[in-house]
Amino acid sequence: MNAKENREQIIRDAKSGLILDAARKIFSEKGFHETKLEEIAVMAGFSKATLYNYYTDKESIFINLAESEFEKLFKDIVNNSNPQAKFINILEKNIKTMLYFFGEHFAFMLTTSDFRKSDTQLSAECHEKRHEFFKRVFLKLIDSLADMVSLARKHGEFSCEIEDKVIAGYIATLVRDVVFKWKIRGKDVNIDSEIRNIMTFISHGLNIKS
């Protein structure tokens, strides 16, 4: 990439970022289905025609935004890894990271749920795009947690015959169910209390050594 192409890419990335920032605000306020492309364009400071130079439709904006947000979570989970630390401490730190992430992005997470709802007006291709996105995110989360579980097993820190990825799936599901409960109650929960409950359940289930 030459200097001119590099400058153009920097400008393009900056404008794309403005669109995603605007989309995050509007999606959080109005939900996926009620948000219009015109509203995103206006808040970003562009025309609707300019917006189409960066994203083909509202779904592509949402998926790019959601992937960007979840990448931050995956990065934090990786950064929490420490081969010298005890499994129980890393596990608690990662559960705390996940719950505080979802708590901080609660309004946007509700939009994610809204995005997942079936819409008969959407094409089969759009439904497939949604399915693949959430499958990709969930599997990446499972892989991140499974690496942590696998390392702990090698160190003999817990006693359980269940496969690493299955354990990781159980952990992710517990966290997901807490977020679902937030949706029902309007996030009227104590995050630290939820962390303690999850840790107690997992510690007994895996027979984690202190």
pLDDT in tens, 61-103: 988 888 888 888 888 988 888 878 899 999 999 999 998 888 7
- Can you give the C-alpha Rg of the chain in angstroms? 20
| pLDDT score of 41 more than 80 | yes
* CATH class of the structural domain 58-206: mainly alpha
Stated pTM of the model: 0.77
Cα dihedral 165, 167, 173, 179, rounded to 10, equals: -110
> CATH fold of 1-55, please?
Arc Repressor Mutant, subunit A (1.10.10)
pLDDT at position 6 is 79
| pLDDT score of 42 more than 60 | yes
Report the percent of the chain where pLDDT is more than 90: 32
Alpha helices in the chain (DSSP H): 3-30, 37-44, 48-51, 58-80, 87-104, 106-116, 124-154, 164-185, 191-206
Q: What span, in angstroms and rounded, lies between the C-alpha atoms of 9 and 164? A: 41
Question: What are the Cα distances from residue 102, in Å, to 3, 90, 129, 183?
Answer: 40, 18, 23, 11
Map out the domains of the chain as residue ranges: 1-55, 58-206
Q: What span, in angstroms and rounded, lies between the C-alpha atoms of 206 and 103? A: 27
User: What mean pLDDT comes out for the span 13-30?
Assistant: 90
Buried b (16+ CB within 10 A) or exposed e, 6-17: eeeeeeeeebbe
Instruction: State both tokens at 95.
Output: 């559960």
pLDDT at position 168 is 94
Quick: pLDDT tens for 131-186.
788 888 888 889 989 999 999 999 899 888 899 999 999 999 898 888 878 777 76
Checking phi first, is residue 207 left (phi over 0); if not, alpha (psi -120 to 50) or beta? left
Quick: pLDDT tens for 169-179.
999 989 888 88
From 178, 196, 8, select the one nearest 98 (Cα to Cα): 178
Instruction: State both tokens at 192.
Output: 């630290």
